[in-house]
Amino acid sequence: MNVDLTEDQQMIKELAAKFAQEQLKPQAAKFEEDEEIPPEILQELGSLGFMGMMVPEDLGGAGLDAVSYAVAIEEIARADASTAVTVAVNNSLVCGIFTEFASDEQKKKFLPPLAKGEKIGSYALTEPEAGTDAGNVQTTAVLDGDHYVVNGTKTFITNGGLAGTVLLFASTNKELKAKGLCCLVVEKGNPGFSVGSREKKMGMRAANVSELVFENCRVPKENRIGEEGQGLKIAFTALDSGRISIAAQAVGIAQAAFDEAVQYSKQRQQFGRPICQFQAIQFMLADMATRIEAARLLTHRAAHIKEQGVRFSTEASMAKLFASETATWVCTKALQIHGGYGYMKDYAVERYFRDARLTEIYEGTSEAQRMVIARGLLR
Ligand SMILES: Cc1cc2nc3c(=O)[nH]c(=O)nc-3n(C[C@H](O)[C@H](O)[C@H](O)COP(=O)(O)OP(=O)(O)OC[C@H]3O[C@@H](n4cnc5c(N)ncnc54)[C@H](O)[C@@H]3O)c2cc1C
C-alpha cells in the first residue's frame, strides 16, 4: 500500500479541511449547545459532494474512493464530530446500502436526493432487545398484498429526527430469527411511521439520535432492498464500511485534541517556563502523536483494501477498535495536559473527551470489534 495520498485524495482532504475549519470548527460549541447542526450546513456539505462521496456521479454522488472518503471524514471530525457522524451515517450506511444492494430502479429513485444532501438518511437496526445481538430484531414486517405492514420500535437511531429516508431492518419470519430479516425503505410522511423521543447524550450532542416508531406502517413491497432473509447480511456489510468511517472520525477527534494540547502546552507557563519544556508533557505528546499516526494508517489500510474489492471486515474492525480506543486515550491525555482548565467547558478538549467516547460504542462496541477480528483470524 502506498501510504501517500494521491493528488486527488490530497485535494479532497484540503477541500474538506477548508470547509470544516471555516464553517464547522468556530461553531461546533454552539451546535452542541443548540443540539442541532443547522440544516444549511448539511445542504452545503451536500452541494460540495460530501453527503454521497462514494456514490457514482451519474446517481448524484461524488464518485470518490474509500481513502478519499476516510480523509474527508477525518477532517470534518477534526472540526465537529457531530457533523462527521451525521455525514458518515448518510454516506456509508445509507448510500452504501443503496449503491451495493438496491435495484437500478431503487437507486434512481432514492439515491440522488440522499447523495446531494437534499434528504438525510438513517439506518435503523438497533432495538431495545437487539444491540450487539443485532439478529434479535423484534420489529415485524408482515406481507399484506403488495405492502409490508411494519410494527416495532427502533432505538438510538442517528439522524432519526432528520431522516427523509430510513433503512429499516425488520423480521418477516420470527422462526428464522437472524435469517428472517429484511431491509425496507421507509420515507418521511409514510403513514404509521413517526419519530419518538430524542436521546439526551453525553457527547456528540448536535447529532440527532432518536427513537423511531412503526405502528401498522404500510411499506410498498417494491421498497424492499434485496430478498427476504438478506436483511442482516445487508446490515452487517454496510457496517464494515461504516467502521472505516468511525475509525476516521476517531482519528479526527484525536488529532483535534492533540492540536489543542500542543498549542496549550506552548502557552501555559508554570515554574517560569512553558509546560511543553517538561519531559512529562513531551512524552505524553510523543505517545499521542505516535498512536494517532498508527490509527490513521490502519484506517487508510482498511479503506485501501476495500478499494481492492476484497473482504475487509477484519481490517475495518481493527481500524475502528484501535482508532476509537486511541481517541479516548489521546483525549484523556489532552485533558491532562490542560490541567484544571481541561475540565472546563471553555476549552474544546472537554467536548472532544466526551465525543471520543462514543466511537468505542456505536457501529459495534470494542468488544464486538474484537469478536469480528477473532472470527476473521480463526476462519
Ligand atoms: C449515540 C448512538 C448512536 C447510535 N446510532 C445508531 C444508528 O444510527 N443505527 C443503529 O441501528 N444503531 C445505532 N446505535 C446503536 C449502537 O450500535 C449500539 O448501542 C451498540 O451496538 C451496542 O448495543 P447496546 O447499546 O444494546 O449494548 P449491548 O449489546 O447491551 O452491550 C452491553 C455491553 O455488553 C457487551 N457485550 C454484548 N454482547 C457481548 C458478547 N457477545 N461478548 C462480549 N461482550 C458483549 C458490549 O460490548 C457492551 O459492553 C447508536 C448508539 C448510540 C449510543
Specify if 39 maps to a domain. yes
Whether pLDDT at 1 is above 90? no
What pLDDT score was predicted for residue 5? 97
Residues 260 and 199 in one domain: no
pLDDT digit string (tens) for 73-87? Answer: 999 999 999 999 999
Residues 252 and 369 in one domain: yes
pLDDT grade for 6, boundaries at 50, 70 and 90: very high
Residues 149 and 160 in one domain: yes
Give mean pLDDT, residues 139-150.
98
What pLDDT score was predicted for residue 294? 98
Give mean pLDDT, residues 140-159.
98
What pLDDT score was predicted for residue 160? 98
Domain extent, residue 15, equals 7-119
Residues 248 and 365 in one domain: yes
Specify if 2 maps to a domain. no
What pLDDT score was predicted for residue 280? 98
Whether pLDDT at 179 is above 90? yes
Residues 248 and 367 in one domain: yes
Specify if 308 maps to a domain. yes
Which of 228, 245, 273 corresponds to the end of one domain?
228
CA of 127 to the centre of ligand 1 (A): 10
Non-local CB neighbours of 82 within 8 Å, separated by 6+ positions: 28, 31, 32, 37, 204, 205, 206, 207, 355
Whether pLDDT at 2 is above 90? no
Alpha carbon nearest to ligand 1 atom 27, residue:
131
Give mean pLDDT, residues 87-97.
98
d(CA 204, CA 312): 28
What pLDDT score was predicted for residue 86? 98
What is the domain-level CATH number for residue 192? Answer: 2.40.110.10
Residues 114 and 162 in one domain: no
Show the cell assigned to 282: 513531551
Asked if residues 325 and 366 have their Cβ atoms less than 8 Å apart, the reply is yes
CA of 256 to the centre of ligand 1 (A): 26
Alpha carbon nearest to ligand 1 atom 31, residue:
132
Specify if 1 maps to a domain. no
Which of 228, 243, 277 corresponds to the end of one domain?
228
Asked if residues 94 and 102 have their Cβ atoms less than 8 Å apart, the reply is no
Residues 101 and 128 in one domain: no
Residues 32 and 84 in one domain: yes
pLDDT grade for 28, boundaries at 50, 70 and 90: very high
Domains identified in the chain, total number: 3
Spatial CA neighbour of 45 closest among 78, 73, 26, 9: 73
d(CA 66, CA 242): 11
Whether pLDDT at 3 is above 90? no
Which of 175, 209, 228 corresponds to the end of one domain?
228
Percentage of the chain lying above the pLDDT 90 cut: 99
Give mean pLDDT, residues 89-113.
98
CA of 128 to the centre of ligand 1 (A): 10
Q: What is the mean pLDDT of the chain?
A: 98
What is the domain-level CATH number for residue 68? Answer: 1.10.540.10
Residues 236 and 344 in one domain: yes
Alpha carbon nearest to ligand 1 atom 47, residue:
367
The CB of 171 under 6 Å from ligand 1? The reply is no
The CB of 158 under 6 Å from ligand 1? The reply is yes
Show the cell assigned to 54: 462514494
Specify if 357 maps to a domain. yes
What pLDDT score was predicted for residue 97? 98
- From 33, 36, 363, 367, active-site residue: 363
What pLDDT score was predicted for residue 24? 98
Give mean pLDDT, residues 348-370.
98
The CB of 124 under 6 Å from ligand 1? The reply is yes
Concerning whether 75 is annotated as a catalytic residue, the answer is no
What pLDDT score was predicted for residue 143? 97
Asked if residues 117 and 164 have their Cβ atoms less than 8 Å apart, the reply is no
Residues 211 and 198 in one domain: yes
Spatial CA neighbour of 3 closest among 322, 314, 296, 248: 296
Give mean pLDDT, residues 180-186.
98
The CB of 362 under 6 Å from ligand 1? The reply is yes
Q: What is the atom index within ligand 1 of the atom nearest the CA of 169? A: 11
pLDDT grade for 282, boundaries at 50, 70 and 90: very high
Residues 62 and 149 in one domain: no
Whether pLDDT at 293 is above 90? yes
Give mean pLDDT, residues 174-184.
97
Residues 251 and 370 in one domain: yes
